Amino acid sequence: MPEDLTTLLAQRVMRWGVAPERFLLGQRTWIPRWRFQPEERLEDAFRLLEEAAPQEYTMGRIGQGPFWVRVRIGGTTGEGRDQRKPRAITLAVARALKLQVDE
């Protein structure tokens, strides 16, 4: 997943400012970019999902197949499917926000 998508999600969903090598959280606080990796870290993916405030979401996995996630945000449904749960969540949120996502 391109870093640009993570940056867009940080801006649009988390409402963070963007600076070289860091995200600006407000009130003179910041985190390095490597600390927010929703496509890799489950904690960050759930943080993104919570902040996106979907009207509903479902997720699951059948056997050892890929995780699937479906979210509805503002009346738009986004779906994500990947072997990694954090990436599936991030893809679903991005697609519900109509962001361009490369597989």
In a domain, 103, yes or no: no
pTM of the entire structure? 0.91
Q: What is the CA radius of gyration of the chain?
A: 13
What digits encode the pLDDT tens for the residues 73-87? Answer: 999 999 999 999 999
CATH code, 31: 3.30.2120.10
In a domain, 35, yes or no: yes
In a domain, 37, yes or no: yes
In a domain, 101, yes or no: no
What digits encode the pLDDT tens for the residues 45-102? Answer: 999 999 999 999 999 998 999 999 999 999 999 999 999 999 999 999 999 999 988 7
Cβ atoms within 10 Å, residue 14: 17
The DSSP code sequence of the chain is --HHHHHHHHHHTS--EEETTEEEEETTEEEEGGG--TTT-HHHHHHHHHHH--SEEEEEE-TTS-EEEEEEETTEEEEEEESSHHHHHHHHHHHHTT-----
In a domain, 21, yes or no: yes
Give the structural domain span for 88. Answer: 3-96
In a domain, 57, yes or no: yes
Domain count across the chain: 1
In a domain, 9, yes or no: yes
In a domain, 102, yes or no: no
Give the list of residues 6+ apart from residue 24 with CB closer than 8 angstroms, or none.
Answer: 16, 17, 18, 30
